[in-house]
Amino acid sequence: MANNTMLINFKPNPSFLGRLNGSTKVPLFAVVLTAVLMSFDIRIIAPILLLSSVALSTLKPNKTILKASMIFFVVLNVINIILFWLVDPNVGSFYLGGDRTPLFNVGNMVLTQESLWYLSVRFIKIFTSFMVSLVFIFSITPSQLAAGLASLKVPPKIAAIISLTFRFIPDLANDFQLMKISLQARGLELDASKVNPLERLKRNITLLIPFLLTSFNRVEVVANALDLRGFGHQKKRTYYVEEPPTLADKLMKGLTWLCLFGVMSYVIYMNTLAPTQDMWAFWK
Amino acid sequence: MKTAKLILGEWNTKTIVGVALGAALFGVLMVFGGITVFTNTRLTTAFLVPVVVGALFGPLPAAVSAGLGNVVADFIGAWGYWFDWSVGNAVLGFFIGLLPVYGAIITKGKFNLIHAIIFVITGFVGNVVAFGLVTPLVTLALYGGELNITLAQAWAAGISNSVVLVVGGLPLLFALARVYASSTNLTKE
C-alpha cells in the first residue's frame, strides 16, 4: 500500500453514514460486529454482508486502496483456510454433529462436505467482519471515535488512547515510507529484483530499529500539546465533533437497539433453549 | 509500594500518548511488518514495540499497547477478530515490559548483560504463560471448539516471537540504553 494516509479520514465522509454522530456510529458498529462474530450461521451473516457492501458503496472509498485490500484479504485468507484444513481435515464434522460425507480425495486426504461447508462459512464470516470494519473505518474520524466511545461511558483517557492510536497510523506509515526512501537514497538496496528475500527482510529489520527509536520522540511533543490544552484535568469532557442528534441519528440509534435486542435474544436462545449447538447447514 | 507503581506505570499524559503510539506501531507492524508462518500466525516484528514501551513506561502500559495494538491489527488486517490472541499478546507484552521492575532502567542508560539474560528469560516465560496457558483458556471461553488450532498456533507464535525478541529486542534495548546514557552525560567518579 503506497499511500496509507488514505486509510484513516480526518474529515467526515460526506455520505449519510459519514454525517452521523460518533455516538451513533460506535454502538452501531459494536452491535453489528458482535452479530457477525457470535455465530457461524450463514442466515445471519449473509444479510449483514449484503448491507455492509451497500454501505461501503455509498462511502465511495478510494478504488486503489479497496482493490489492494481485497487482494490482500483473499490471498491471506485462502492460505489460512488451506493451512487450517491441512491441520484438521475433519474440522467440519465437529461443528455439524459428527457427520462425515466424503466428497473427493486430495492426495491421501479426504475433503468432506462438512469441512467444505464449515471452511466456506468461516471465510464468508471473516470477509463480512472485514467489510463491516472497512465501512466503519471509512465512515469515521478519530475524533468521532473518541466521542462515540465516551458516549458508551468509556473513561475519556481510554477513549483518548484509542482515538490517538488510529490518529497515529497514517503519520507512522508516512514516516516509515520517508525513512525507507532516504536510506535507499543513501545506498541501501531494497529492490526486490536485486536483493534476495531473506536479505531484504534483514535490511527491513535494520531499518526498523531507528524507526522505532525516532517514533517515540514525538511522544513528548504530542503530550506537551495535550497538556497545554488542559487534557485530563477533569473526569468528564465534551467533544467538539459531537453535534445535537438529527433525525438520521435517532433512526440509527433505534436500529442499534433493535439489533442489540436481536443479538441478545439469539445468544440467550442458543445457550438455553436451542436443541443443538451445531451450526446450520442447508442440507440439514 | 514502589514496585506496585513500577508495575502499574504512571498514567500521565505522556504515558497515554506513548501507549497510543505503541498500539499504533504494534498494529501497523503486525499487518505490514511480518511474514505468515502458519494459519493466522505471523513471524512479526511487532513485539519490538512493547520492548520500547516497557522500557520507557513499564509493564502495564506495554501490555495495553500490545493488546490494543492486536485489536487494531485485527481491524485493518483482514484476518478476522481474535480477541483470545489480543489477551495473550497483552500478557506477553506485560512480561516483556517488566524491564524497569528488575532494575533495567533504560531511561537512565542502565542495561547490562545480566539485565539482558533476565530479559530473555522473562520473554521465554512470557511466551509460555501467554500462549501456553492464557490464550487457550480464553479461546475455550470465547470460541469453544477451536482449541486444537489454537494450540498449534501457540507453538508457532511462541517460537517466532522468541526469535524476534532475542534477535531484534536485545540490540534494540542496547541501542536505546546508549541513546539515553549519552543524553544524561554524567559519570560517577
Q: How many of the other CB atoms lie within 10 Å of CB of A34?
A: 15
pLDDT tens figures, A29-40: 999 998 988 888
Question: What is the reported pLDDT for A3?
Answer: 46
What's the pLDDT at A32?
92
What is residue B62's predicted lDDT score, i.e. its pLDDT? 92
Interface residue of B10, B11, B39 to substitute, partner A, most A CBs within 10 Å: B39
CB contacts, 8 Å: B38 with chain A: 83
Question: Which residue from B minimizes the CA distance to A227?
Answer: B13
Q: Which residue has the higher pLDDT, A251 or B41?
A: A251
Q: What is the pLDDT along chain A (284 residues), one digit of tens a residue?
A: 344 445 777 888 888 888 888 889 999 999 999 898 888 888 889 999 999 999 988 888 888 888 888 888 888 888 888 888 887 777 777 777 777 777 777 777 788 888 888 889 989 998 998 899 889 888 889 899 999 998 888 888 889 999 999 999 888 888 888 888 888 888 877 776 777 777 776 777 777 888 888 888 889 899 999 999 888 788 788 888 888 888 999 999 999 999 999 999 998 888 888 777 777 777 77
CB contact under 8 A, A95 and B145: yes
- Share above pLDDT 70 across residues of chain B, in percent, rounded to a whole number: 88
A198 part of contact set with chain B, CB < 8 Å? no
For A225, the closest chain B residue by CA position comes to B13
Q: CA nearest B11 in A: which residue?
A: A157
Q: Does B39 touch chain A (CB under 8 A)?
A: yes
Full set of structural domains in chain B with CATH: 2-183 (1.10.1760.20)
> How large is the average pLDDT for residues B1-13?
76
The reply to whether residue A215 touches residue B25, judged by beta carbons under 8 angstroms, is yes
Task: Give the closest-approach CA distance of A103 to chain B in angstroms.
Answer: 23
- Nearest Cα to Cα of residue A54 among A139, A144, A125, A166: A139
pLDDT for position B5: 75
Quick count: other Cβ atoms within 10 Å of Cβ B73? 27
User: pLDDT class for B145, splitting at 50, 70, 90?
Assistant: low
Tens digits of residue pLDDT in B46-63:
888 898 898 888 889 999
- Which DSSP symbol is given to B166? I
pLDDT digit string (tens) for B172-188?
888 888 888 776 666 66
CA distance A117 to B130: 32
Of A83, A130, A157, the CB nearest to B16: A157
**Residue bearing the bigger pLDDT, B82 or A262:** A262
- Each residue of A190-215: b (16+ CB within 10 Å) or e? eeeeeeeeeeeeebbbebbbebbeeb
Residue B141 scores a pLDDT above 70: yes
> Is B142 an interface residue toward A (CB < 8 Å)?
no
Least confident of A138-147, A160-169, B116-125, B140-149: B140-149
Whether residue B39 and residue A218 make contact (CB cut-off 8 A), yes or no, is no
Which residues contact residue B36 at a Cβ distance below 8 angstroms, ignoring those fewer than 6 apart? Answer: A76, A79, A80, B42, B43
- B76–chain A Cβ distance below 8 A for any pair: yes
**Grid coordinates in use for A107?**
492426495
Q: Which residues of A touch B175 (CB under 8 A)?
A: 209, 213
Distance, CA of B105 to chain centre:
17
All residues at 6 or more sequence positions from A243 whose CB lies less than 8 Å from its CB, including other chains: A21
Which among B17, B36, B45 is the nearest to A222, CB-wise?
A: B17
Determine phi and psi for A222, rounding to 5 degrees.
-65, -40
Q: What is the ipTM of this complex?
A: 0.82
- pLDDT, position A1: 39
